[in-house]
Structure 1
Amino acid sequence: MFASVSFILGAMPLKQVCGILVFLSACLISITPPCHGGNILVFPVDGSHWINMKILLEELHARGHSLTVMRASTSWYIPEKSSLYTSITIEMNESLEDFFDVYLQEQMRAQREGASALTFLKLTKDFLSMITEAHSLWTDVLAQIFEDEKMVQSLKDSKYDLVLTDPAIAPGVVLAKYLKLPLVLNVRWITSGDGHFVIAPSPLSYIPVPGSGLTDKMNFIQRVKNMLFYSIILFQQRFLVGPSYDAICDKYIEGGCDIISLLQEADIWLFRSDFVFDFPRPTMPNVIYIGGFQCKPAQPLPADLEDFVQSAGEHGVIIMTLGTLVNALPKNVADDIASIFAKMPQKVIWRHKGERPSTLGNNTMIVDWMPQKDLLGHPQTKVFVAHGGTNGVQEAIYHGVPVLGIPLFFDQYDNLLRLQERKAGKIIQLADLSGQSFEQGLNEVLHQDSYRENMQRLSRLHRDQPISPMDQAIFWVEYVIRNKGAPYLRTEAYQMPWYTYYCIDVLLLLLTATSVLLLSTLAIFRFLCCRSRRKTKTKQN
């Protein structure tokens, strides 16, 4: 066939051949692969979690998917109008931003008082109280949705292909069950800590519980501590968080349910972590690791920022931010940090919204917002002073910038501990933070080459993947759309009672059978011995 075409073209004038080839090329270019965009219902969590979700939504939108985002009327990060999605706004009376701010300020004040058993109990009580109230607020919102017949009918009529949600707060999980839709989780945390603990074997002998501040190498006392922290998580789920969702499930879900079983029924877990960052552990086939999926090569800085960075010369730049939830540290702490920055030969870019520190030096630029990823990717950046949020830690790994960490709350200490264990970062606890400790820690991370070398090694490992984390995430979302779920990836272990899961019934059967066999053998020997003695006695008589 190709020979015939070549022969025909060869017999034609060159001008006509060129015209035909141009026409065929135009036709081929105009024929694009068909795009079967999905219809996705998104139920995000506000704050820094939304930053991650939005990046995923941008990629889904770019690939032709239709997105609908459910948001609270008091949302401080999720806009009602967007070119990426259509929004459904749900009325909520209380602002979660104010709600968290009160808690965080109290947390920082308590930590500054120093570590003690009383402080630990107070922080734990405040945390459990805050978490319980947050989940209670959202289950009230969920009941409001289910009671709104027009909204429910609209959701059903929209014929969504799946629900994409962050299960740190779980109304999206319950809504997916109610609408009988496949469920994809964009997850780092669930309602009661690390999601791995409800879907995969998690031996407490070497898997640290979130909040414990432990690594995967634990001595006896540390394993006792790990067990105690696990008991706190179980208490939180069973008695504080679980009942709110149980009440909703019993009322609105046919047959009832509980939040843990709903999480276990999720088709795909897009886990915002990887084993360059996290400690190795057992996992499941429907867990897809997308740690650092939000990371991209650095873009050029705004002109004024680039000029400031370049003015640092050979000394480079230090950048500091404490994330989306913390606007400012206590004034005395901020003054101590500013005074140390003022002594450094480096230039400093500091995201700080509180009262301007009185000890601020000329080498320090205070900003309300910074292009964090672009600054981390700039060759002049030497150290990242951060609170240890998941986003910042993964971006620091991606760009190979060592971290001086000041953990404040939630998972931040655990995140920074993983860097410290790999000698790529250093932690200063808020209770120990002073001008002297901050200067010592900053100089150590700046001037000991091992910190940068170790972080750059992590960066190479993280980037050395056959498929980028973002492409992995998009593939599996589209996989669930194409196949209307992925139930075959879920284990049936979740349906087993505990004694079946651990084979206690099998062990009891084997022990019983062995005992019966031994006792029977003993009884036979005893019978034979007694009979032999009787025969001997009879002969003697």
Structure 2
Amino acid sequence: MRVIIEGLHSRGHQVVVLRPSDSWYIKENSPFYTSITLDIVSGFDEEFMKKYVADLLRIQREGKSFWTRFKLEMENAYIANEFNQKTSEMLERVFENKDLIGSLLDAKYDLFLTDPAFPGGVFLGHYLKLPLVFNVRWTSHGEGHGAIAPTPLSYVPLTTTELSDKMTFPERVINVVAFLLTQYQITYYMLPHFAGLIEKYLGPDTDYLSMFAAADLWLMRVDFVFEFPRPTMPNVVYMGGFQCKPAKSLPEDLEQFVQSSGEHGVIIMSLGTLIGELPHDLADAIAAAFAKLPQKVIWRYKGERPATLGNNTLLVDWMPQNDLLGHPKIKLFVAHGGTNGVQEAMYHGVPILGLPLIFDQPDNLFRIEVRGAGKNIDIFSMNEEIFYQGVQEVLTEPSYSMNMQRLSRLHRDTPVKPLDNALFWIEFVMRHKGAAHLRTESYRMPWYVYHSVDVMLFLGGVVLIILVTFAALIRCMCSACLRKKTKRD
């Protein structure tokens, strides 16, 4: 969101950002926006997220089994239930703050920009009756396309299934079951939390899922170089890799370390913001494998220093990831599979050794592996030798680098940069007070109308009436013939 806000600021727009008092990423003071800090504690701060992620990792390390999967789903359901309850309570306090709501209404904003992974912005945008634009990959109830576009389960794999668009019959069964389970979770763990809120503040005619589908514009953080082909909609604008940019010069100390690698080059490793450290045995196995390599290694790691750390490995609390990936000496990116990191690696043409952990990371890295631009390792059953062999394979097999560079060329070969495209469409919605002409009426339809169930029942009824009438006529004709024959006899 910060990248888009800075882009809007550079074009002369005034941006106001709403943030809770315990916001983790969004700072109160910035030269790019004015903030309104709500006197509300969301409860979803850095510590909460780190504990949640640690619990998920602990469960997954118990091994691959039905029981482990069940425990993982129960943990996710519990957290989703808690999250939705807290979000509903937070929104109630926002709507009851008459001074805040009055000031937002009086400000006469041109547009409401939000990430629908959290429903608060969607509720507030509808309440303020402003043109609504999403910066989206995920909604609160699944991948963004599923909330607005047709999603044929025969060739559109759902998140968490780790399937491609070429599914066998058993895989299609898995995909359908995953869809049904997702619908169950939405119905019983999400919608009840917001039903009273919707009726009280938005009116009984408003539906939770329809609020999302009614958005004017979807700025989708997806590139079909990376995503599998699928149906879409006219008000979906693709800006995958919008945060990517040419590399800048590295800080002097980091540049010296990179240059010291000589002809062998450098490996960088990061498991994202949420996963700053790993269990000691995993960290030691990774460090020991790195120590056997001739390459230099830059590893973003906040945990206790691994006992097996080699002299070729530099531990850092933070790294300029985009600038490092764009450096000519970088040979490999060891990554957890977050969307931003995968897109930056693709932009700069650096192959990936994937260690998928949670959320959408396995699916993201699966897409890279299918395209031959990386290799994935199951981190929960990994040891030093498995990790070492994985690193060696991606470093020494030229196809990984060649395939990733091909993806990079495809990604960059566009008439307009993704960020410029996104900013144009945001301004388009401002100029025209919305983009209703791009929005289909499907979001207003009941499910039976959307799927033409009523039409099929009607046509089936007509066919049935015709068949019954035809059968009755045949029966009458047969009866008449029998009566004539009887009289002759």
TM norm structure 2 = 0.97
The separation in 1 between residues aligned to 2:26 and 2:6, in whole angstroms, is 13
The separation in 1 between residues aligned to 2:414 and 2:222, in whole angstroms, is 14
The separation in 2 between residues aligned to 1:512 and 1:243, in whole angstroms, is 36
Aligned to 1:87: 35
Would you say the 8 A contact 1:70–1:90 is kept in 2? Answer: yes
The separation in 1 between residues aligned to 2:481 and 2:108, in whole angstroms, is 84
State whether structure 2 residue 6 is matched by structure 1 residue 58. yes
The separation in 2 between residues aligned to 1:339 and 1:273, in whole angstroms, is 36
SS of residue paired to 2:274: coil
Would you say the 8 A contact 1:111–1:430 is kept in 2? Answer: no
The separation in 2 between residues aligned to 1:522 and 1:138, in whole angstroms, is 60
Would you say the 8 A contact 1:166–1:186 is kept in 2? Answer: yes
Question: Post-superposition shift, 1:256?
Answer: 5.0
Would you say the 8 A contact 1:206–1:216 is kept in 2? Answer: yes
SS of residue paired to 1:184: strand
State whether structure 2 residue 412 is matched by structure 1 residue 412. no
Structural mapping, 1:70-469, within 5 Å: 70-93=18-41, 94-255=43-204, 257-469=206-418
One-letter amino acid matched to 2:103: S
The separation in 2 between residues aligned to 1:389 and 1:90, in whole angstroms, is 29
The separation in 1 between residues aligned to 2:113 and 2:462, in whole angstroms, is 50
Question: Post-superposition shift, 1:335?
Answer: 0.6
Question: Post-superposition shift, 1:533?
Answer: 4.5
One-letter amino acid matched to 1:450: S
SS of residue paired to 1:79: coil
The separation in 2 between residues aligned to 1:527 and 1:134, in whole angstroms, is 67
One-letter amino acid matched to 1:77: Y
Distance change in 2, residues 1:446/1:510 (3 Å)? same
One-letter amino acid matched to 2:102: Q
Of the structure 1 ranges 179-188 and 425-434, higher mean CA displacement relative to structure 2 is found in 425-434
Would you say the 8 A contact 1:480–1:486 is kept in 2? Answer: yes
Question: Post-superposition shift, 1:219?
Answer: 1.8
5+ residue gaps, structure 2, are none
Question: Post-superposition shift, 1:525?
Answer: 3.7
One-letter amino acid matched to 1:373: N
TM norm structure 1 = 0.88
Deviations 1:70-112 (A, max 9, x none): 1111122211010001101123343521111111111111222
Distance change in 2, residues 1:139/1:517 (3 Å)? closer
The separation in 2 between residues aligned to 1:135 and 1:167, in whole angstroms, is 13
Number of equivalenced pairs: 488
Would you say the 8 A contact 1:320–1:350 is kept in 2? Answer: yes
5+ residue gaps, structure 1, are 1-52
Question: Post-superposition shift, 1:143?
Answer: 1.3
The separation in 1 between residues aligned to 2:64 and 2:98, in whole angstroms, is 51
Distance change in 2, residues 1:226/1:370 (3 Å)? same
461, 466, 485: which one aligns with 2:434: 485
Deviations 1:197-221 (A, max 9, x none): 1211111122111112222122222
The separation in 1 between residues aligned to 2:38 and 2:285, in whole angstroms, is 43
The separation in 2 between residues aligned to 1:158 and 1:259, in whole angstroms, is 26
One-letter amino acid matched to 2:27: P
Question: Post-superposition shift, 1:432?
Answer: 1.8
One-letter amino acid matched to 1:157: D
Counting aligned pairs with the same residue, the percent is: 53
The separation in 1 between residues aligned to 2:111 and 2:50, in whole angstroms, is 33
Distance change in 2, residues 1:507/1:80 (3 Å)? same
Would you say the 8 A contact 1:110–1:119 is kept in 2? Answer: yes
Deviations 1:252-304 (A, max 9, x none): 12345232111011000001011111111111111111100000011111111
SS of residue paired to 2:434: coil
